[in-house]
Every structure is written in C-alpha cells, then in structure tokens.
Amino acid sequence: MNLILFGPPAAGKGTQAKKLVSERAFIQLSTGDMLRAARTSGTELGKRVAGIMDSGSLVSDEIVIALIEEQLDRNPKAAGFIFDGFPRTIPQAEALDASLAKRGKKVDAVIRLKVDEAALLDRVTKRFEAEGRADDNPEAFKKRLLAYNAQTAPLLPKYRGEGKLSEIDGMANVDAVAGAISGILDGSAKAGKK
Ligand code: ADP
C-alpha cells in the first residue's frame, strides 16, 4: 500500500504520517524532512536549497525526484510508503508514477486533508513562535500557499480521475483525522469521506 498524504502546507500531513509509521509498517518519505536534514548536515545540496526553502518557493523537481528515488531503492522490501509533501508538481507526480512502475509498485491511495486558509495561517503563526522555522514567517508562508494553489492543487484532478482520491476534514483534532485515515486505509471509509 503506497499512500500520498495531500494538502496545503501545515495541514498536518507530517503529524499523520508519523502516526501511521508507528501504527503500521509504513515508511514515511517526506521531501521537506529530507531537505531540512541536508541543510542541518551542511551538504552541498543543503546549501543549494536553503535560500529557496526559506523564501517559501519550491526547490527543483529534479532534486526532490532524486531524493525520492534514492529512498525507494534503499527500502526495496517496504510494506508501503507514505509520501508526505511529495509530489508537489505535475512533473513530480509523473516521475513518481514512473519510478514506482519501474519497481513493480504504484500509488494506491491519495488522502487529501482539507483545512481552510485562515486555520492554516493560525497554525503556522503558532508554529513560527514555537519553533522559529524561517519559512513559517508570514511572508514566506503566503508564498508556500500560493505555490500549493498554483502548482500542487492541479494534481487533484489527476488522482480523482484515477479513482484514488479520498478527502477528509483536516480541521478535526489529530486523533479524529487519524481515525478517518485509518478508515480509508481499511476500506471502510464511508464515515470520514466527503
Ligand atoms: P510544508 O508541508 O509545511 O509546506 P515541507 O516540509 O513539506 O513543508 O516543505 C518545506 C519546503 O521544502 C517547501 O516550501 C519547499 O521549498 C521544499 N520542498 C519540500 N518538498 C518539496 C517538493 N516535493 N518539491 C519542491 N520543493 C519541496
């Protein structure tokens, strides 16, 4: 089972992915976490992407696709992957399909967390105060939302057309969202779906 957690920045994808990792034998592949790790360890890649990330723009498709492929190869026996923050553009989605197909796998489900923009802004303001992540400042966050609406939301028709998309209320509390995701994964999604 390979799952994409889909939604705007700060929708709660990372939180839910981590819960799924602890509850099921999934591997979380978060391109945001990978890029932040590259920055922390001071690699050439980390230096290259720092400014782009802090401004709220997307790093190049080529970079994130390479990071994902490396992880797919590193975990050939994984029971499933949770893609979190990837794909974010149409070329990334197409590359993911091709990379999985090459390995005899596919995207099985896409779960969209729906959260309105006012709530996102509120969450991120609190996170900025608590953690000080540079791209959580109001200006950069607005840019991330713009990038989501312009480059990432256009993936929804693709996954809807493939019959893979489920949509859930991401405004509910963490456990309720987790319950809705589990319902979908277990094939009894009626209660959580919209
Ligand atoms: P969030 O989901 O809270 O926006 P992420 O941790 O997923 O944050 O991403 C942080 C930043 O890392 C993005 O704004 C972007 O600069 C970069 N990034 C992460 N994933 C991708 C991706 N798939 N494509 C391009 N850039 C990415």
Which pLDDT belongs to residue 25? 84
- CA end-to-end span of the chain, whole Å? 22
Is residue 103 among the annotated active site residues?
no
What is the pLDDT averaged over residues 155-171?
A: 97
The closest residue, in CA terms, to atom 15 on ligand 1 is 58
Nearest CA to ligand 1 atom 23: 86
Mutate to test the pocket of ligand 1, among 59, 68, 127 (most ligand atoms within 8 A of CB): 59
Least confident residue range of 17-21, 145-149, 190-194:
190-194
Length of the chain: 194
Question: Any residues with Cβ below 6 Å from ligand 1, and which?
Answer: 9-10, 31-32, 35, 52-53, 56-59, 64, 85-86, 88, 92, 135, 144
- pLDDT at position 194 over 60: no
pLDDT at 190 over 80: no
38 has pLDDT over 80: yes
One-letter amino acid of 155: L
Identity of residue 54: D
24 tagged catalytic: no
Residue 191 above 50 pLDDT? no
Pocket test for ligand 1, best of 30, 48, 53 (most atoms within 8 A of CB): 53
Q: What is the pLDDT of residues 89-141, one digit of tens each?
A: 999 999 999 999 999 999 999 999 999 999 999 999 999 999 999 999 999 99
Rounded to the nearest whole angstrom, what is the distance from the C-alpha of residue 151 to the centroid of ligand 1? 12
Residues 6+ apart with CB under 8 A from 178: 16, 19, 20
Question: Which atom of ligand 1 lies nearest, measured to the CA of 84?
Answer: 7
SS3 158: helix
Query: Is-catalytic flag, 144?
Result: yes
Q: Give, using CA atoms, the residue closest to atom 1 of ligand 1.
A: 9
Q: Is 114 a catalytic residue?
A: no
Tell how many helices (H) and how many strands (E) occur in the chain: 9, 5
> Is the model's pTM score more than 0.85?
yes
Mutate-to-test residue for ligand 1 from 29, 34, 58, 141, highest number of ligand atoms within 8 A of CB: 58
Which range is least confidently modeled, 26-30, 76-80, 160-164?
A: 76-80
Asked about 47 being catalytic, the answer comes back as no
* Peptide bond just before 76 cis, omega within 30 deg: no
- CA 15 → CA 21, 116, 179, distances in Å? 10, 17, 13
